[in-house]
Structure 1
Amino acid sequence: MADDMLRFWQTTPLSEMSKEQWESLCDGCGKCCLHKLRDDETDEIYFTNVACRLLDLHSCHCSSYETRFRKVPDCVSLTPDILTTIDWLPPSCAYILIRDGQDLPDWHPLRSGSAESVHEAGISARDKIISERKAGLLEDHMVEWPADIPPGVARNRRKRNTHKPSK
């Protein structure tokens, strides 16, 4: 995309975006579809490398996007309103970046013009995840990389967790 072209994510509030604009903000990293654990005592979030059974492990896209709520009833639909209450999206998530007044990084497909740029930059979950069907206990699959702050993202995001969640 040419630098002089108007970028909708810089001029349109999340709450006023069309469905197409909203959907295009997703960079296809797959990190939001990873199972997370929450510590009952501290409320901290812990990421795992275990993906929802509907996530295609290579493309990092939902294999049943249009019917996902029927197949996975606890799947969360991201909306501008819900962005004010959830705390488990990765720091590279475009919805969080835009909500917090940041721009999209160069590797985001809207900036690069390529859906593969998120994978090429190593931002996505590709080659780092397993399906929930093969995982076993989530506690055995806790990882930190989904919470890492990648290049091109402001450094004032999420702090690292330093202890294990209670069981």
Structure 2
Amino acid sequence: MSDAPPFWKTKTLGTMTRAEWESLCDGCGRCCLHKMRDEDTEELVFTNVACRLLDTGSCLCRDYPNRKQHVPDCVKLTPAKVAAVDWLPPTCAYRLVKEGRDLFWWHPLLSGRPETVHEAGVSVRGRAVTEREAGAFEDHIVRWPGTLPRSAKPPKPTKGKA
């Protein structure tokens, strides 16, 4: 067993391999919920309306490799986009690494199991509606995607690189 720190504590987002980058996603589905921005105030509001490709049971994209073909405005995260966007949830590993923070206990890289994100109540499972079910997005404004779960304690900053 190696005593070396995990890659997310030693590498910047820009130096991660593709496999490391992809493994940062905890599969919560929060970033796949529609968001709206007030034209006057620029305030960001979250909805519980899932992208049409999000499987609200598994919280995974139904066609991840081809998602941009089906949903042209789907945002492909890159290190530059992670630094620029203001809508990544506070539980998002990309955001946490960028901010020099550690991952939460439920992250599959720490727990060893993809189900812990659901068991911890972090994912959209049981909380999201599909675009077809939703109707007007304005009727589905919620706060929880932009907040930490009650049981969560914010990870402390680490000495790793962002």
- 1:106–1:152: 8 Å Cα contact kept in structure 2? no
Q: Which residue of 2 aligns with 1:31?
A: 30
Whole-Å Cα distance in 2 between the matches of residues 56 and 5 of structure 1? 36
1:7-63 per-residue CA deviation (whole Å, 9 max, x = no partner) reads 110011110000000000000000000000101111111000000010001110000
Matched, 1:116 2:115: yes
Whole-Å Cα distance in 2 between the matches of residues 102 and 43 of structure 1? 27
Q: Which residue of 2 aligns with 1:60?
A: 59
Question: Following superposition, which runs of at least 4 residues in structure 1 exceed 3 angstroms of deviation?
Answer: 2-5
Whole-Å Cα distance in 2 between the matches of residues 105 and 19 of structure 1? 21
- 2:96–2:103: 8 Å Cα contact kept in structure 1? yes
Q: What TM-score do the two structures reach when normalised by structure 2?
A: 0.91
- Unaligned 5+ runs, structure 2: 157-162
Write the letter of the residue equivalent to 1:24.
S
Q: Which residue of 2 aligns with 1:153?
A: 154
Q: Which residue of 2 aligns with 1:140?
A: 139
Write the letter of the residue equivalent to 1:141.
H
Which range moved further: 142-151 or 52-61? 142-151
Whole-Å Cα distance in 2 between the matches of residues 43 and 29 of structure 1? 26
Whole-Å Cα distance in 2 between the matches of residues 145 and 4 of structure 1? 36
- 1:47–1:142: 8 Å Cα contact kept in structure 2? yes
Give the direction of change, closer, same or farther, for the CA distance of 1:35–1:142 in structure 2 (3 Å limit): same
Write the letter of the residue equivalent to 2:153.
G
Q: Secondary structure at the match of 2:55?
A: coil
- Unaligned 5+ runs, structure 1: 156-167
Identity of aligned residues (%): 55
Count of aligned pairs between the two proteins: 154
Q: Which residue of 2 aligns with 1:75?
A: 74
| RMSD over equivalenced CA pairs, Å | 1.5
